[in-house]
Amino acid sequence: MSRSEDLFKAAQTHIPGGVNSPVRAFKGVGGTPVFFKKGQGAYLFDEDDNQYIDYVGSWGPMILGHAFPDVINAVRSVLDNGLGFGAPTEIETQMADKVCEMMPSIEMIRMVSSGTEATMSAIRLARGYTGRDKIVKFEGCYHGHSDSLLVKAGSGALTLGEPNSPGVPASIAEHTITLTFNDIDNVRQAFAEVGNEIACIIVEPVAGNMNCIPPKEGFLEGLREVCDEYGSVLIFDEVMTGFRVALGGAQAHYGIKPDLTTLGKVIGGGLPVGAFGGKREIMEHIAPLGPVYQAGTLSGNPLSMNAGLAMLNALTSTPGIHEGLAAKTEYLTEGLKAVATAKGIPFTTTAVGGMFGIFFTDQPEISSFAQTTACDTERFGQFFQGMLKEGVYLAPSAYETGFMSAAISEEDLDRTIEAAGRVFDTFAK
Ligand code: PLP
């Protein structure tokens, strides 16, 4: 038995499923989760001393690789001052200024401790600001696990939303309208019927929770137009895309200005952080300036702020970092596709900046949730397990995006592509 297997067995005694977040349990790919003890640059090291090239990056924040020296030193530099005061600190203002400078649509920002809190709070703010209850989200997008967002569509686009987890009251779910990502006609139709009751649209500008699905041309523009027409708030959930697909996030990459933006992961440099921000006029409705309540004991925690600010400073002071990430991502996806094609494996990829998707399908392009769910997830599981044995750590689910880091070298990419070739060879057997 490996040490990971031992540890997983022990973990299950007191931790439900042995994990503190469900996707870690490997249910989507089979096998036993790997227990890690260390991350350094491009690599992860497990409890059995195996080394992996990491394409998960703690689900996004490790854009510069693990244990990036500036980030680690920033945390170290404040450790001895104490771990938190629940009172204002100067670093919070520096962080707020930095984010507002990097994402000009954000004129005011509030720090929270997770992406879930960020989206939950942004939705409350949008509802408080507009005085409306209904919200729109898209099937396949994930915005954390707050009650209003753990909702699936009813039988038709405009039927009442239904809880997609026990514990979410139907009376909350019914206010959530779930529409089709990349289908602007579907959105226009919904707004034509109940637009004046819709507080906000929340969207992942590049969907990263149904594998990686970029927006079709005109989709994000259409959302902007619809929100302007009906006085609804447009929320870009940039928890994954923020500072990753471009320095200014997906909103800079596609040139669309949302009213509110939610951020997470990345701005903590790996420590627990989230944030929401946007137009001053809307943000002024948040307590203590305005009547919409939102709070947090750990919000703006000095360790997280120092780590996150060091991360953002490193990103802004490294010219061409996002071009480099995009080039590496393209090299990887093109390389994987070439090997798959040569071996007769139906395979499609997507890529935006440092995010990528791999799909076992004969469909040449993937732009919808329906297409992603029609892919061969069993084959993905086989691929995942094969790559794991080859020392490559991919997200343990066919519905998660891949994450590139600046620490991954060309040699790592070549090793990954060669490993994929060997794994593809096992498919026919
Ligand atoms: N929004 C998006 C786009 C996410 O990908 C996630 C998490 O993966 C969240 C929100 C929730 O963030 P957290 O897990 O920090 O609560």
CATH code (residue 84)? 3.40.640.10
Q: Note whether 248 and 192 are same-domain residues.
A: yes
Mean pLDDT of 387-400: 96
**116, 230: one domain:** yes
What's the confidence (pLDDT) of residue 153?
A: 77
End of a domain among 256, 290, 316? 316
Out of 286, 316, 346, pick the residue that ends a domain: 316
Residue 363, burial from CB neighbour count under 10 angstroms (0-12, 13-18, 19+): middle
Å from CA of 411 to ligand 1 middle: 31
Q: In angstroms, rounded to a whole number, what is the distance separating the alpha carbons of residues 76 and 88? A: 20
User: Which residues have a Cβ under 8 Å from the Cβ of 141 and sit 6 or more positions away?
Assistant: 181, 202, 203, 204, 207, 209, 210, 237
Mean pLDDT score across all residues of the chain: 96
User: Both 30 and 114 in a single domain?
Assistant: no
Q: Which atom of ligand 1 is nearest to the CA of 241?
A: 3
Structure confidence by residue, pLDDT tens digits, 156-203? 666 788 888 999 999 999 999 999 999 999 999 999 999 999 999 999
* Residue 425 reports pLDDT greater than 90: yes
Q: Looking at residue 157, what is its pLDDT?
A: 62
Does the structure show a pLDDT above 80 at 423? yes
β-partners of residue 289 are: none
Q: How is residue 163 written in tokens?
A: 């809880």
* Residue 47 sits in the same domain as residue 103: no
46, 54, 183, 237: the catalytic one is 237
**Are residues 271 and 404 both part of a single domain?**
no
Domain membership flag for residue 329:
yes
* Cis peptide bond upstream of 288, omega within 30: yes
- Please report, rounded to a whole number, the percentage of residues in the chain having pLDDT higher than 70: 99
**Ligand 1 first shell, C-beta below 6 A:** 59, 114-116, 119, 142-144, 204, 208-209, 237, 239-240, 264, 274
Q: Greater confidence, 398 or 161?
A: 398
The size of the chain, in residues, is 429
Residue 429 has pLDDT above 70, yes or no: no
Residue 161: its pLDDT value, please? 85
Q: Tens of pLDDT along 269-294?
A: 999 999 999 999 999 999 999 999 99
Distance separating alpha carbons of residues 297 and 315, to the nearest angstrom: 28
Whether 29 is covered by a domain: the verdict is yes
336 three-class SS: helix
Maximum distance among all alpha carbons in the chain?
65
Atom 13 of ligand 1, nearest CA residue: 115
On whether the CB atoms of residues 114 and 146 are closer than 8 A, the answer is no
Which residue blocks in 167-264 are alpha helix, DSSP H?
Answer: 170-173, 184-194, 219-230, 249-254
* Average pLDDT of the residues in 51-75: 97
ipTM summary value:
0.99
Contact between 181 and 208 under an 8 Å Cβ cutoff? The reply is: no
Region 88-116 average pLDDT: 98
Distance (Å, whole) CA 264 – CA 276 = 9
Q: How many helices (H) and strands (E) does the chain have?
A: 14, 16
Most ligand 1 atoms within 8 A of CB, residue of 202, 239, 276 to mutate: 239
Q: Do 289 and 375 lie in a common domain?
A: no
Tell me the residue type at 205: P
Are residue 268 and residue 247 in the same domain, yes or no?
yes
Picking from 316, 351, 374, the residue at the C-terminal end of a domain is 316
CB 127 within 8 A of CB 135: yes
Please name every residue paired with 134 in a beta bridge, in sequence order, or none if there are none: 198
Q: Which of 194, 320, 310 is nearest to 247 (CA)?
A: 320
pLDDT of residue 113: 97
- Examine the domain organization and report whether 154 and 290 are in the same domain: yes
Please say if 265 is a catalytic residue.
yes
pTM: 0.97
Report pLDDT digits (tens) over 367-385: 999 999 999 999 999 999 9
- Tell me how many domains the chain contains: 2
In the chain, % helix, strand, coil (3-state, to 5) comes to: 40, 15, 40
**Cβ(294)–Cβ(287) below 8 Å:** yes
Ligand 1 atom with the smallest distance to the CA of 209 is 5
Instruction: For residues 103-118, give the mean pLDDT.
Output: 98
Instruction: Examine the domain organization and report whether 154 and 78 are in the same domain.
Output: yes
Residue 62 placed within a domain: no
Active site residue 254: no
DSSP tag of 233? E
Kindly state whether residue 61 falls inside one of the protein's structural domains.
no
Which one is catalytic: 142, 254, 393, 399?
142
Q: Is 190 found in the same domain as 250?
A: yes
Domain that holds residue 133: 69-316
Give me the half-sphere count of Cα atoms (radius 13 Å) on the Cβ side of residue 282. 31
Q: Are residues 299 and 384 in the same domain?
A: no
Question: In this structure, are 281 and 200 located in the same domain?
Answer: yes
Average pLDDT over residues 98-108: 98
pLDDT, tens digit, 9 for 90 and up, residues 316-364: 999 999 999 999 999 999 999 999 999 999 999 999 999 999 999 999 9
Rounded to an integer, the average pLDDT of 33-52 is 98
Q: Is residue 63 part of a domain?
A: no
Q: The CATH number of the domain where 353 resides is what?
A: 3.90.1150.10
- What per-residue confidence (pLDDT) applies to 154? 74
Displacement of CA 5 from its chain's centroid (Å):
28
User: Would 364 be classed as within a structural domain?
Assistant: yes
